[in-house]
Chains A and B, each alone.
Chain A
């Protein structure tokens, strides 16, 4: 994004109201940066529900299978040993480790998926648009790649009417 416009609000309710106004004018808001999760914002921007839970399920299923069958393989095929009168294929004994493996893999699968999907990680080079968005500012970003100069003016007026503060054009 080389050419864009930022503006901010001081309150999440003003933000939601303003966003509705801006979007009803047919202007597409590229992104909104907020200090905390604002409920209803994802709907205003038009985001789909995150599908991360599918990855957690796959991780959990994989953990269950690996955990269970590894123990079963060790005790029935690779090195069967009799312990305390238990059968070799001792299903109740395998449950705790199976469960822990399921939780471990599910949790790590989803966290790594989340970090990759969000472009987060040590040394990540994400642009920080405004240092106050982690404090008390609600920043909106509008990409102006395909807009001509007069259209930009129009966008600025819409933003002003929607109560946005600190409208700045960045090229």
Chain B
């Protein structure tokens, strides 16, 4: 039984295009008038990184489940695939951003004439040619693997051949190995090197955990939107429950890594390290606590009971708050090092750019969803996902 095909209706098209237009307009406003080009560039980096990472989490979702031979995920696999289709687009945008001056504008270490002793020591790693090589390798690797994983997954729809199932598993393993290294290194390159003097070994995993929680929340929101439009009828309460557990669990996991990093730096109290949190606490104390509340306190308290994980009435508001919360997490990672405490703010540029990227992300995802049935109904595990119960 082939699942219902998705078609993007006119109204949604228009809404998404308007959202993208708002993004473009607020970027222009940011660049030409008002807050200035640096703040606009920082926003561009933030949103570009955020939505690119959400795409990657989509791919991570598919591949991790494929490798662990889980069954239930197949019911929402197509949504995760749709999210992953943003990877090449986000990748190109990021590359264009760096090449068109974003790199020089935001990253202190590119200013090679005025490097202090510490930063001079880092030039074997932090130099432009090597930076671009790494960026290219990551973006190309992700895009190519995303393409082949999607292709194999669609081939599985034709007759559910074992060959494609095995190939999907092999490709997934390849992606996971590549992603394990590239997600860490790319977060050093694109985010940690903003505060070029500062370093933390946990940084890469911390950023990953943040994006993971946000990615699951985005997946839940997309699922909700599709169900509201009358699609995804094969998804039942059990699947929603499982996604709710993920959101709950990964939010706790994020808090765990946040605490580990913060506590160790606070406790050892080495000036070179504490300066990072000192600045964030001094100039961004509001965002600092909003971030913790939205990313941990809200999902932890709201999703504790079984019923709240099973109904959209609680799950959706929480997901939206978590997506916003991790946006603020990135805000805290990027803004202090690029535009600093005095010049940064939260206004039209921030909101507009985010709306624009959200529109683009949704549009790309929806267009991908329209290309194939909404469920991999010939996947060997698809039938399993229709018949199971969550006991917790």
Chain A interface residues toward B at CB < 8 A: 39, 53, 57, 85-86, 92-93, 95
Contact = CB atoms under 8 A, between A and B. Distances in A.
Given A57-B304, A85-B269, 13 more contacts: A39-B389, A39-B391, A53-B305, A53-B306, A86-B267, A92-B259, A92-B262, A92-B263, A92-B266, A92-B267, A93-B267, A95-B259, A95-B263
Nearest to A54: B305
A93 B262 CA distance: 11
B200 to A, nearest CB: 16
B257 to A, nearest CB: 14
15 contacts: A39-B389, A39-B391, A53-B305, A53-B306, A57-B304, A85-B269, A86-B267, A92-B259, A92-B262, A92-B263, A92-B266, A92-B267, A93-B267, A95-B259, A95-B263
B90 to A, nearest CB: 36
Contacts of B263: 92, 95
Question: Interface size class for chain B?
Answer: 10 to 19
Tell me whether chain A's interface is mostly helix, strand or loop, or mixed.
helix
A53 B269 CA distance: 40
The 8 closest A-B pairs by CB, nearest first: A92-B263, A92-B266, A85-B269, A95-B259, A39-B389, A92-B262, A92-B267, A95-B263
Contacts of B269: 85
A108 B319 CA distance: 32
A93 B267 CA distance: 8
Contacts of A85: 269
Nearest to B266: A92
Contacts of B306: 53
Contacts of A86: 267
Contacts of B259: 92, 95
Interface string B268-293: 01000000000000000000000000
